[in-house]
Amino acid sequence: MNAREDGPAPAAVRRAREDGRASAAVRRAREDGSASAVVRHARPEELPRIVELIVEHAAYEKAPAPAPGLAERLARLLFGTAPPRLRCLVAVLPDGALAGYATCAPELSTWDGAEYLHMDCLYLTEASRGHGLGPLLTAAVTAEARALGLTQVQWQTPVWNEGAIRFYDRLGATSRQKRRYTLPTGPA
């Protein structure tokens, strides 16, 4: 969905249209079997929609909205270096609409003395959940780890997010309880 299609409609209206489209597209793909969603690396022109999904994700997790300029910061991380510092995989419905995303980056484990792939985010629009897209995104992240020669993917989810916890448990993932802290360093 681009700005020309949307015009000046408020974000909530655009989101409702996108969710309706996502749900209908997934339903059609499942019913007729002629088309299916795909997961692939994000493209620069998709950053506006990815930012919309990130804002939805933050709201869903009861977190503050991202600071202004997110698209520019992500552009540098996703497309500004080779290899990219951050990878973004998107779930694309048969009609071309983005229904969700997963971001990941290689990180280090001191205890293991090895790198792993940290999945920072996995998010699907509400209408796109329960249609098999989550396993597709997770499989793509796992494939990304293998392609990088990494043997493990790690991530975290809020303790209250019971739907995500059930999903990850069904995948066979194991969890460790920890708390995540953030310490601002001051102006850069």
Q: What is the DSSP string of 43-89?
A: -GGGHHHHHHHHHHHHHHTT-PPPPTTHHHHHHHHHHSSSS-SSEEE
Is this prediction's pTM over 0.85? Answer: no
Per-residue confidence (pLDDT) for residue 5, from 0 to 100: 31
- Which residues face 100 on adjacent strands? 91, 124
CA proximity to 103, closest of 91, 82, 115, 119: 119
Q: What is the residue type of 106?
A: P
Q: Report residue 140 as tokens.
A: 């793509």
Per-residue confidence (pLDDT) for residue 57, from 0 to 100: 96
Per-residue confidence (pLDDT) for residue 184, from 0 to 100: 77
Contact indicator for 30, 131 with CB cutoff of 8 Å: yes
Per-residue confidence (pLDDT) for residue 35, from 0 to 100: 57
Low-confidence ranges of the chain (pLDDT < 50): 1-34
Residue 153 burial (10 A CB sphere; 0-12, 13-18, 19+): middle
Per-residue confidence (pLDDT) for residue 186, from 0 to 100: 80
Per-residue confidence (pLDDT) for residue 84, from 0 to 100: 96
